[in-house]
């Protein structure tokens, strides 16, 4: 578990250089891109030469505003950035988004950045589970799995190594894994009495990492052989540091005040956090299935990779797949795409 000293070093001392890896000729999708880290990541990727950057946004008006801001700051062509609507809480919206993606000639990078952090707001259960988990895990994977075939197709047709990157959080390390008595963990969390809202954001990031680990092993298991020089697709995740963003926009009361003070003292800018996102989305194949923090590949916490952690990974994946199949029958067939 990271110590407070580690936190201070990451937030106040660590130097995060601007990304320099070229994205020339690449087509990139970034969700949650109308503001914060997602928007700043898009700005860097356009600066680094991408041919097309798609801002996946729930609010088109905000997305268009972000597009204009980026274009104005970089003086780039207005043809590079496109704003596409996608609501991670809506299977129908996700399906429409994927249908558009399938018409693209290529897809090189997907940055799954959309997410939320709710602590004590009205209890809601989209996808039949608590909302933090619904958005940060189920909705995110509902989109991600449907984009795998396009990434693999791009790898085959263009001889490149596409990336799928997930924005995670170091807070997974302090999450309390619930005792759900064998019931599907996502269904179990549809009952408010089973849920500690102060733990839910952290738990969503832990469940996300379990799912990423399993997805990575299924999609491209050969990449565990470090002697291979290339792989069909790299799937990784990162902690972008604690940044000033709108992630906690739904927090209220004294907690909002406390969070604002904490952010004033310690938070990095969204632009700094985006540097880590872009670095991860262009990192080498050695990061496949891995987790990056502070710009470096880190070991998962032991409780994720020990015997019990492996069992939890398999169980989370099984429960997640059950939910995903209910929402989009046949979605798991995307994992068999060549």
Three-state helix/strand/coil letters over 246-268 = CCCCCCCHHHHHHHHHHHHHHCE
Distances 253 to 54, 120, 244, 257, 323 between C-alpha atoms, Å: 36, 10, 18, 7, 34
Task: For residue 332, give the 3-state DSSP assignment.
Answer: helix
205 an active-site residue? Answer: yes
- E strand residue ranges, the chain: 27-31, 52-57, 81-85, 109-112, 163-167, 234-239, 291-293, 296-298
Please tell me which residue in 205, 244, 279, 323 is annotated as part of the active site: 205
Residue 131: which of 192, 43, 80, 49 has the closest Cα? 192
Bridge partners of 81, per DSSP, are: 53
Backbone angles phi, psi at 236, to 5 degrees: -145, 180
Please tell me which residue in 201, 244, 312, 323 is annotated as part of the active site: 201
201 an active-site residue? Answer: yes
| DSSP conformation class of 129 | S
The DSSP secondary structure of 139-186, one letter per residue, reads: IHHHHHHHHHHHHHHHHHHH----EEEEE--GGGGGPPPP--TTS-HH
Give dist(CA 268, CA 157) in Å, integer: 39
Please tell me which residue in 34, 168, 169, 231 is annotated as part of the active site: 168
208 neighbors 140 (Cβ within 8 angstroms): yes
Q: Which residues are catalytic?
A: 168, 201, 205
């Amino acid at each position: 578990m990271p110590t407070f000293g580690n936190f201070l070093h990451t937030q106040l001392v660590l130097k995060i250089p601007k990304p320099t890896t070229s994205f020339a000729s690449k087509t990139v999708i970034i969700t949650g891109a109308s503001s914060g880290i997602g928007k700043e990541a898009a700005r860097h990727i356009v600066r680094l030469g991408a041919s097309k950057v798609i801002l996946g946004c729930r609010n088109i008006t905000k997305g268009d505003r972000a597009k204009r801001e980026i274009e104005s700051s970089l003086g780039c062509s207005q043809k590079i950035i496109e704003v596409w609507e996608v609501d991670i809480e809506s299977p129908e919206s996700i399906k429409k988004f994927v249908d558009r993606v399938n018409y693209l000639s290529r897809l090189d990078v997907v940055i799954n950045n959309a997410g939320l952090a709710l602590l004590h707001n009205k209890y809601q259960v989209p996808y039949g589970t608590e909302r933090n988990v619904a958005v940060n895990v189920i909705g995110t994977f509902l989109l991600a799995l449907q984009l795998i075939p396009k990434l693999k197709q791009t790898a085959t047709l263009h001889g490149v190594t596409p990336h799928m990157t997930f924005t995670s959080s170091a807070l997974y390390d302090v999450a309390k894994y619930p005792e759900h008595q064998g019931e599907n963990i996502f269904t179990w969390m549809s009952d408010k009495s089973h849920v500690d809202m102060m733990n839910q954001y952290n738990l969503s990031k832990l469940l996300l990492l379990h799912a990423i680990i399993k997805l990575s092993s299924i999609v491209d298991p050969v990449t565990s052989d470090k002697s291979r020089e290339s792989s069909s697709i790299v799937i990784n995740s990162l902690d972008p540091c604690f940044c000033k963003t709108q992630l906690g926009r739904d927090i209220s009361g004294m907690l909002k005040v406390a969070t604002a003070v904490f952010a004033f003292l310690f938070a990095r800018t969204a632009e700094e956090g985006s540097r880590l996102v872009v670095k991860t989305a262009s990192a080498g194949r050695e990061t496949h299935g891995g987790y990056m923090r502070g710009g470096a590949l880190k070991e998962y916490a032991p409780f994720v990779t020990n015997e019990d952690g492996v069992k939890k990974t398999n169980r989370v994946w099984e429960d997640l797949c059950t939910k995903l199949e209910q929402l989009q029958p046949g979605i798991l067939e995307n994992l068999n795409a060549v």
